[in-house]
Amino acid sequence: MSRMGLFGLQAVLAIARRGSFRSAALELNVSTTALSNAVAKLERELGVRLFNRTTRSVSLTDAGRSFVDQVGPALQDIGDAMNIARSHQEVPSGTIRINSFPTAAREAVMPLVLQFLERYPQVHVDIVTEGRLVDIVGEGFDLGVRAADLVPHDMIAVPLQSARRHVVVGTPAYLQAAGVPEVPSALSQHRCICIRLPNGAPYPWQFEKDGKTVKINVGGPLTLDEASLARMAVLSHVGLGYFMEADVREDIEKGRFVEVLGDWALNVPPLCLYYPSRRNPSAAFRALVELAREINSQV
């Protein structure tokens, strides 16, 4: 173990999880060269090749797959032992990795993390944003963020906020030219910024009123998968956009956007910070979860 070192083992597991040297290097916050050198050194010491490498893909060899299956749990035990030691720290330190989707990161994660770092400047927080749902344990994250109804049942969840709203907005200039829709079905007469889900499927705009839920497949000149890009399009008077209220609240307050169909706005479950049960969490982990609970008690 002393010859191979923990970093080489961590490198192999990260590449196996991510499927690429570049993504694994980003996860471990090292250069691709350093990662490649660590794996090459480990392969020389073991006398076997762990990965099949081409210019386009990386995959485990049979020996590599067997190695990962055996080393993964052992490395988890080592990590648990290190966390036990860290749990006795008086001052939180170390790194916390959080997985979130972009809207949640802007809306709830960053306000929490910025306040946390102000209290505990010795902690490093690594936030990864992506649209897909991930296994936070399998991909090496300490915590994840999802809507309450999407948190796995075997995880512990801490609400980060109260219920959220979807809103439809347009610029005053667009609405003056195109008119104001009074009911969701009137969106068929409007240019709308379409939304694409991470799996490539179109996302219908959803509405609710008096217990009745309506889904509308809108049409328009643009299909996007990122709220900030959709906001740019709406600001340019391209059409109406469908957003989480938090993403456009300032635009509405300053008159850049006007909300329409407000009485049809759909409330959605609150965002939650979630994590697996841990016997001996680090001081930094405990401090972040405690702050999240503290903030939630004030909502």
Q: Are residues 48 and 27 in the same domain?
A: yes
The CB density around residue 224, as the number of other CB atoms within 10 Å, is: 16
Report pLDDT digits (tens) over 261-280. 999 998 888 889 999 887 67
Highest mean pLDDT among 46-55, 159-168, 239-248, 276-285: 239-248
Q: Is residue 238 part of a domain?
A: yes
On whether residue 111 sits in a domain, the answer given is yes
User: Are 199 and 189 members of one domain?
Assistant: yes
211 DSSP 8-state letter = T
| pTM across the whole model | 0.59
Instruction: Name the residue with higher pLDDT: 163 or 256.
Output: 256
Position 291 pLDDT exceeds 70: yes
Distance between CA 245 and CA 260 in Å, rounded? 12
| CATH code of the domain containing 241 | 3.40.190.290
Number of domains in the chain: 3
Structural tokens at position 285: 């982990």
Asked whether residue 79 is assigned to any structural domain, the reply reads: no
Q: Using one digit for the tens of pLDDT, what is the confidence trace for 46-86?
A: 888 898 887 777 888 988 888 888 888 877 777 767 766 66
181 and 225 co-located in one domain: yes
H/E segment holding residue 260: strand 258-260
Where is average pLDDT lowest: 42-56, 102-116, 139-153?
Answer: 42-56
Residues 116 and 169 in one domain: no
Q: Are residues 23 and 64 in the same domain?
A: yes
Helices (DSSP H) in the chain: which residue ranges? 5-18, 21-28, 32-46, 62-86, 102-104, 110-119, 172-178, 227-235, 245-253, 283-298
Average pLDDT over residues 17-33: 86
Tell me: pLDDT of 204 over 90.
Answer: yes
pLDDT value of position 2: 42
**In the predicted model, what is the mean pLDDT of the chain?**
87
| Domain's final residue, options 72, 105, 124 | 72
Is position 210 within any domain? yes
- For residues 22 and 24, what is the distance between their CA atoms, to the nearest angstrom? 5
Domain-embedded: residue 190? yes
C-alpha dist (Å) from residue 277 to 137, 158, 236: 11, 13, 47
Would you say residue 68 lies in a domain?
A: yes
Together in a domain, 258 and 183: yes
Most confident of 67-76, 184-193, 241-250: 184-193
Is there a domain that residue 155 lies in? yes
- Residue 279's contacts (CB-CB under 8 Å, 6 or more residues apart) are 80, 84
Looking at residue 106, its pLDDT comes to: 85
In this prediction, residue 145 carries a pLDDT of 93
Question: Any idea which of 93-107, 163-177, 203-217, 247-261 has the lowest mean pLDDT?
Answer: 93-107
Task: Name the more confident of 181 and 106.
Answer: 181
User: Same structural domain for residues 12 and 68?
Assistant: yes
Q: Is the pLDDT of residue 1 over 70?
A: no
Assess whether 250 and 172 both reside in one domain. yes
Once rounded to an integer, what is the mean pLDDT over residues 247-256? 94
**Which residue range(s) make up the domain with 154?**
94-163+270-298
Angle between helices 21-28 and 5-18 (to 10 degrees): 130
Mean pLDDT on 231-252? 94
Does residue 136 lie in a domain region?
Answer: yes
Angstrom CA distances, 126 to 24, 171, 287, stand at 14, 36, 16
> Both 253 and 210 in a single domain?
yes
Query: Is residue 3 scored above 70 in pLDDT?
Result: no
pLDDT of residue 14: 87
Residue 179 sits in the same domain as residue 248: yes
CB 131 within 8 A of CB 102: yes
Q: pLDDT value at position 85?
A: 66
Q: What is the CATH number of the domain that holds 34?
A: 1.10.10.10
Both tokens assigned to 170: 């347009």
pLDDT at position 75 is: 76
CATH of the domain at 276: 3.40.190.10
Judged on CB neighbours under 10 Å (0-12, 13-18, 19+), 236 is exposed
Same domain, 171 and 213: yes
* Mean pLDDT computed over 12-25: 87
